[in-house]
Amino acid sequence: MRIAKFMAAAGVASRRKSEELIRKGVVRVNGRFVYDPATNVDPEIDQIYVSGRKIQIPDEKIYIMLNKPVGCVSTCSDDKGRRTVLDYVKGIDQRIYPIGRLDFTTEGLLLLTNDGELANKLTHPSHEVSKRYYVVVDSFVSPEEIKQLERGVIIEGGKTAPARIKVMNAVEDRTEMTIIIHEGRNRQVRRMFETIDKHVVFLKRISVGDINLGPLKKGEYRLLTKEEIAYLKSIK
Protein backbone atom coordinates (compact mmCIF):
# COMPACT_ATOMS: atom_id res chain seq x y z
CA MET A 1 0.00 0.00 0.00
CA ARG A 2 1.32 3.44 -0.87
CA ILE A 3 2.12 5.45 2.23
CA ALA A 4 -0.12 8.40 1.28
CA LYS A 5 -3.08 6.03 0.92
CA PHE A 6 -2.23 4.43 4.26
CA MET A 7 -2.11 7.81 5.99
CA ALA A 8 -5.51 8.75 4.57
CA ALA A 9 -7.01 5.45 5.73
CA ALA A 10 -5.56 6.04 9.19
CA GLY A 11 -7.29 9.41 9.37
CA VAL A 12 -4.18 11.60 9.26
CA ALA A 13 -5.40 13.72 6.35
CA SER A 14 -6.73 13.44 2.81
CA ARG A 15 -4.46 11.66 0.36
CA ARG A 16 -3.36 14.96 -1.19
CA LYS A 17 -2.63 16.52 2.21
CA SER A 18 -0.79 13.35 3.23
CA GLU A 19 1.41 13.68 0.17
CA GLU A 20 2.24 17.24 1.24
CA LEU A 21 3.17 16.06 4.75
CA ILE A 22 5.46 13.40 3.27
CA ARG A 23 7.25 15.94 1.08
CA LYS A 24 7.69 18.23 4.12
CA GLY A 25 9.70 15.51 5.83
CA VAL A 26 7.53 14.80 8.88
CA VAL A 27 6.90 11.11 8.07
CA ARG A 28 9.18 8.29 9.20
CA VAL A 29 9.01 4.61 8.29
CA ASN A 30 10.99 2.27 10.51
CA GLY A 31 13.02 5.17 11.83
CA ARG A 32 13.84 6.70 8.44
CA PHE A 33 12.29 9.82 6.97
CA VAL A 34 10.53 9.29 3.63
CA TYR A 35 9.86 11.99 1.07
CA ASP A 36 8.22 10.06 -1.77
CA PRO A 37 4.40 9.67 -1.52
CA ALA A 38 4.65 6.60 -3.75
CA THR A 39 6.68 4.72 -1.13
CA ASN A 40 5.06 1.36 -0.38
CA VAL A 41 4.50 0.24 3.20
CA ASP A 42 3.16 -2.88 4.88
CA PRO A 43 0.88 -1.81 7.77
CA GLU A 44 1.33 -5.22 9.41
CA ILE A 45 5.11 -4.89 9.59
CA ASP A 46 6.26 -1.29 9.15
CA GLN A 47 6.32 1.28 11.96
CA ILE A 48 4.99 4.58 10.60
CA TYR A 49 5.19 7.89 12.45
CA VAL A 50 3.84 11.32 11.50
CA SER A 51 5.26 14.27 13.43
CA GLY A 52 6.45 11.84 16.09
CA ARG A 53 3.08 10.08 16.53
CA LYS A 54 2.67 6.46 15.56
CA ILE A 55 -0.25 5.90 13.20
CA GLN A 56 -2.17 2.78 12.27
CA ILE A 57 -5.44 1.82 10.65
CA PRO A 58 -7.94 0.96 13.41
CA ASP A 59 -9.17 -2.62 13.54
CA GLU A 60 -12.68 -1.63 14.59
CA LYS A 61 -14.42 1.20 12.77
CA ILE A 62 -16.81 3.37 14.74
CA TYR A 63 -19.35 5.92 13.49
CA ILE A 64 -20.99 8.47 15.81
CA MET A 65 -23.59 11.22 15.57
CA LEU A 66 -23.25 14.11 18.04
CA ASN A 67 -25.72 16.92 18.59
CA LYS A 68 -23.02 19.55 18.99
CA PRO A 69 -23.92 22.40 21.32
CA VAL A 70 -22.89 26.02 20.87
CA GLY A 71 -19.67 26.91 22.67
CA CYS A 72 -17.35 24.09 21.65
CA VAL A 73 -14.94 23.67 18.76
CA SER A 74 -15.13 20.92 16.15
CA THR A 75 -11.57 19.77 16.74
CA CYS A 76 -9.88 17.16 18.91
CA SER A 77 -7.95 19.76 20.92
CA ASP A 78 -7.85 23.52 21.33
CA ASP A 79 -4.85 25.68 22.20
CA LYS A 80 -7.19 28.28 23.76
CA GLY A 81 -8.53 25.78 26.27
CA ARG A 82 -12.06 25.77 24.92
CA ARG A 83 -14.26 22.70 25.08
CA THR A 84 -14.05 20.40 22.08
CA VAL A 85 -16.60 18.00 20.62
CA LEU A 86 -14.62 15.11 22.15
CA ASP A 87 -15.58 16.38 25.62
CA TYR A 88 -19.13 15.26 24.81
CA VAL A 89 -18.21 11.80 23.55
CA LYS A 90 -17.36 9.76 26.63
CA GLY A 91 -16.81 6.03 26.89
CA ILE A 92 -15.25 5.64 23.44
CA ASP A 93 -11.85 3.93 23.57
CA GLN A 94 -10.94 4.46 19.91
CA ARG A 95 -9.31 7.64 18.65
CA ILE A 96 -12.05 9.46 16.75
CA TYR A 97 -12.25 12.78 14.95
CA PRO A 98 -14.98 14.92 13.38
CA ILE A 99 -16.02 14.61 9.75
CA GLY A 100 -15.93 18.24 8.70
CA ARG A 101 -16.82 20.89 11.24
CA LEU A 102 -19.45 23.17 12.70
CA ASP A 103 -18.61 26.70 13.79
CA PHE A 104 -18.19 27.59 17.48
CA THR A 105 -21.56 29.36 17.50
CA THR A 106 -23.42 26.73 15.45
CA GLU A 107 -25.11 23.65 16.87
CA GLY A 108 -26.49 20.43 15.49
CA LEU A 109 -25.49 17.28 13.67
CA LEU A 110 -21.80 16.42 13.57
CA LEU A 111 -20.46 13.02 12.53
CA LEU A 112 -17.33 11.54 14.12
CA THR A 113 -15.40 8.41 13.18
CA ASN A 114 -12.05 6.67 13.09
CA ASP A 115 -12.62 5.66 9.46
CA GLY A 116 -10.18 7.96 7.68
CA GLU A 117 -11.12 6.82 4.20
CA LEU A 118 -14.81 7.60 4.72
CA ALA A 119 -14.06 10.91 6.44
CA ASN A 120 -11.90 12.07 3.56
CA LYS A 121 -14.50 10.97 1.01
CA LEU A 122 -17.36 12.81 2.69
CA THR A 123 -15.41 16.06 3.05
CA HIS A 124 -14.08 16.07 -0.52
CA PRO A 125 -15.87 18.74 -2.61
CA SER A 126 -16.42 16.35 -5.53
CA HIS A 127 -18.99 14.30 -3.59
CA GLU A 128 -21.33 17.24 -2.92
CA VAL A 129 -22.98 15.75 0.15
CA SER A 130 -26.00 17.90 1.03
CA LYS A 131 -26.21 19.59 4.42
CA ARG A 132 -29.48 21.03 5.71
CA TYR A 133 -29.62 23.81 8.31
CA TYR A 134 -32.37 25.49 10.30
CA VAL A 135 -31.70 29.24 10.17
CA VAL A 136 -33.17 32.18 12.07
CA VAL A 137 -32.49 35.73 10.87
CA ASP A 138 -33.41 38.81 12.95
CA SER A 139 -35.17 40.61 10.08
CA PHE A 140 -37.46 40.03 7.13
CA VAL A 141 -35.94 38.21 4.16
CA SER A 142 -37.79 38.96 0.93
CA PRO A 143 -38.58 36.42 -1.80
CA GLU A 144 -36.16 38.29 -4.09
CA GLU A 145 -33.36 37.92 -1.53
CA ILE A 146 -34.15 34.21 -1.15
CA LYS A 147 -33.81 33.74 -4.91
CA GLN A 148 -30.51 35.61 -4.84
CA LEU A 149 -29.13 33.26 -2.19
CA GLU A 150 -30.42 30.21 -4.07
CA ARG A 151 -28.72 31.28 -7.29
CA GLY A 152 -25.42 31.84 -5.51
CA VAL A 153 -23.57 34.77 -3.95
CA ILE A 154 -19.93 35.78 -3.83
CA ILE A 155 -18.02 34.86 -0.67
CA GLU A 156 -14.29 34.27 -0.27
CA GLY A 157 -13.80 35.47 -3.82
CA GLY A 158 -15.99 32.79 -5.37
CA LYS A 159 -19.66 32.19 -6.08
CA THR A 160 -21.50 29.69 -3.90
CA ALA A 161 -23.13 26.67 -5.51
CA PRO A 162 -26.93 26.76 -5.92
CA ALA A 163 -28.81 26.34 -2.64
CA ARG A 164 -32.37 25.39 -1.74
CA ILE A 165 -34.27 27.47 0.80
CA LYS A 166 -37.67 26.87 2.35
CA VAL A 167 -39.16 29.73 4.38
CA MET A 168 -41.14 28.51 7.38
CA ASN A 169 -42.10 31.85 8.90
CA ALA A 170 -41.37 35.44 7.89
CA VAL A 171 -42.39 38.59 9.76
CA GLU A 172 -40.92 42.08 10.04
CA ASP A 173 -38.23 41.26 12.62
CA ARG A 174 -37.69 37.52 12.13
CA THR A 175 -37.41 34.94 9.35
CA GLU A 176 -37.19 31.21 9.97
CA MET A 177 -36.14 28.88 7.17
CA THR A 178 -34.19 25.81 6.17
CA ILE A 179 -31.32 25.93 3.71
CA ILE A 180 -29.62 23.07 1.88
CA ILE A 181 -26.06 23.56 0.66
CA HIS A 182 -23.49 21.17 -0.81
CA GLU A 183 -20.28 22.99 0.07
CA GLY A 184 -18.39 23.37 3.33
CA ARG A 185 -16.77 26.79 3.23
CA ASN A 186 -15.85 28.50 6.49
CA ARG A 187 -18.95 30.08 8.10
CA GLN A 188 -20.69 29.64 4.74
CA VAL A 189 -24.35 30.03 5.75
CA ARG A 190 -23.71 33.08 7.92
CA ARG A 191 -21.55 34.71 5.26
CA MET A 192 -24.16 34.04 2.57
CA PHE A 193 -26.74 35.98 4.57
CA GLU A 194 -24.22 38.75 5.27
CA THR A 195 -24.07 39.41 1.51
CA ILE A 196 -27.71 40.53 1.67
CA ASP A 197 -27.12 42.45 4.94
CA LYS A 198 -28.89 39.89 7.13
CA HIS A 199 -27.72 38.67 10.52
CA VAL A 200 -28.11 35.01 11.48
CA VAL A 201 -29.04 34.72 15.17
CA PHE A 202 -29.49 30.94 15.28
CA LEU A 203 -28.04 28.18 13.14
CA LYS A 204 -28.47 24.43 13.53
CA ARG A 205 -27.47 21.62 11.19
CA ILE A 206 -30.27 19.09 11.05
CA SER A 207 -29.12 16.64 8.39
CA VAL A 208 -26.16 15.43 6.35
CA GLY A 209 -27.38 13.71 3.21
CA ASP A 210 -30.04 11.24 4.37
CA ILE A 211 -28.70 11.19 7.95
CA ASN A 212 -31.07 13.18 10.18
CA LEU A 213 -30.44 14.55 13.66
CA GLY A 214 -33.89 13.54 14.86
CA PRO A 215 -34.70 13.73 18.59
CA LEU A 216 -31.10 13.48 19.81
CA LYS A 217 -30.67 15.97 22.65
CA LYS A 218 -28.11 18.75 22.63
CA GLY A 219 -24.71 17.54 23.86
CA GLU A 220 -25.62 13.86 23.49
CA TYR A 221 -24.39 11.29 20.98
CA ARG A 222 -25.34 7.92 19.56
CA LEU A 223 -23.81 5.28 17.32
CA LEU A 224 -24.99 5.27 13.72
CA THR A 225 -27.20 2.38 12.67
CA LYS A 226 -26.02 -0.21 10.15
CA GLU A 227 -28.34 1.35 7.59
CA GLU A 228 -26.89 4.84 8.15
CA ILE A 229 -23.33 3.53 7.87
CA ALA A 230 -24.18 1.66 4.66
CA TYR A 231 -25.72 4.85 3.23
CA LEU A 232 -22.60 6.92 3.97
CA LYS A 233 -20.36 4.28 2.41
CA SER A 234 -22.58 4.16 -0.69
CA ILE A 235 -22.05 7.85 -1.47
CA LYS A 236 -20.06 8.10 -4.70
Residue positions annotated with a catalytic role: 103
Task: Identify which of 129, 107, 225, 113 has the alpha carbon closest to the alpha carbon of residue 181.
Answer: 129
Greatest mean pLDDT range, 17-21, 65-69, 232-236 = 65-69
The arithmetic mean of pLDDT across residues 130-152, rounded, is 96
The arithmetic mean of pLDDT across residues 154-176, rounded, is 94
SS3 147: helix
Read off φ and ψ for residue 223, nearest 5 degrees: -75, 145
Domains of the chain (ranges; CATH) run 3-54 (3.10.290.10), 63-126+212-234 (3.30.70.580), 130-208 (3.30.70.1560)
Per-residue pLDDT tens for 5-60? 888 878 787 788 889 999 999 999 999 999 999 999 988 889 999 999 888 877 78
Nearest-angstrom CA–CA distance, 29 and 99: 27
Strands (E), 42-123: 48-50, 53-54, 63-68, 97-98, 107-113
The chain-wide mean pLDDT, for the chain, equals 92
